[in-house]
């Protein structure tokens, strides 16, 4: 069931924040195993929370934890199920750990024609990339836009039980802004 996976992932989040390297490595390996099994779709629905946490773990001080986090992030990105985004997964993962390469990756993504519908898992993979490249929050995470937006595009992420709404502002000259 979806709720079982959700409860398990919540416990894994706490374990990934643990101080000991062995606990983090074990948790990352188990999360990677979940992406290959029958829980694949359930993990894809949780990517909006998994990807930001793995992005933090990818900046850990221990090299073994970083390598395991990169491996797990790759397996989690595969669960997004977007064929148009799949070729960019290694680049996106690299850019999360090396923010200086984000503008080039965003430029490549902008030049891509997305044929397949972009759903919540695919969006969950790309949003941390944009946040990593611009620490001044290019996205406003609220249900209402700030006063007098010039031209926002509304993105709705469907999830069981609730809706998350993001306001995405236009992109000009490789910069994201209002």
159 vs 57: which has the higher pLDDT: 57
| pLDDT of the residue at 157 | 45
Of 68, 76, 70, residue with least CA distance to 24: 68
Q: How far apart are CA 100 and CA 86, in angstroms?
A: 21
Q: With bands split at pLDDT 50, 70 and 90, how would you rate the model's confidence at 163?
A: very low
| pLDDT of the residue at 177 | 44
| pLDDT of the residue at 100 | 85
DSSP 79: T
For the entire predicted model, the pTM comes to: 0.70
Q: How many CB atoms lie within 10 A of CB 16?
A: 21
Domain enclosing residue 115, as ranges: 2-176
Q: 93, 77 in Cβ contact below 8 A?
A: yes
Q: Which range is least confidently modeled, 66-80, 95-109, 114-128, 158-172?
A: 158-172
Question: How many folded domains does the chain comprise?
Answer: 1
**What pLDDT digit, counting tens, does each position of 43-73 carry?**
888 888 898 889 889 988 889 999 999 999 9
Q: How far apart are CA 88 and CA 178, in angstroms?
A: 26
CATH number, domain with residue 151? 1.25.10.10
Q: Residue with structure tokens 């398990």? A: 8
């Amino acid at each position: 069931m979806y709720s079982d996976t959700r409860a398990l992932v919540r416990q894994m989040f706490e374990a990934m924040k643990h101080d000991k390297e062995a606990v983090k490595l074990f948790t990352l390996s188990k999360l990677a195993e979940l992406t290959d099994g029958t829980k694949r779709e359930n993990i894809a629905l949780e990517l909006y929370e998994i990807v930001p946490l793995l992005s933090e773990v990818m900046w850990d001080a221990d090299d073994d934890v970083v390598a395991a986090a990169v491996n797990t992030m790759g397996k989690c990105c595969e669960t997004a199920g977007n064929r148009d985004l799949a070729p960019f997964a290694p680049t996106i993962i690299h850019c999360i750990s090396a923010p200086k390469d984000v503008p080039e990756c965003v430029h490549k993504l902008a030049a891509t024609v997305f044929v397949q519908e972009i759903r919540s898992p695919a969006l969950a993979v790309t949003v941390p990339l944009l946040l990593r490249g611009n620490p001044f929050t290019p996205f406003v995470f609220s249900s209402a836009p700030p006063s007098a937006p010039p031209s926002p595009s509304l993105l709705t992420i469907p999830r069981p039980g609730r809706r998350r709404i993001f306001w995405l502002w236009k992109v000009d000259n490789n910069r994201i802004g209002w």
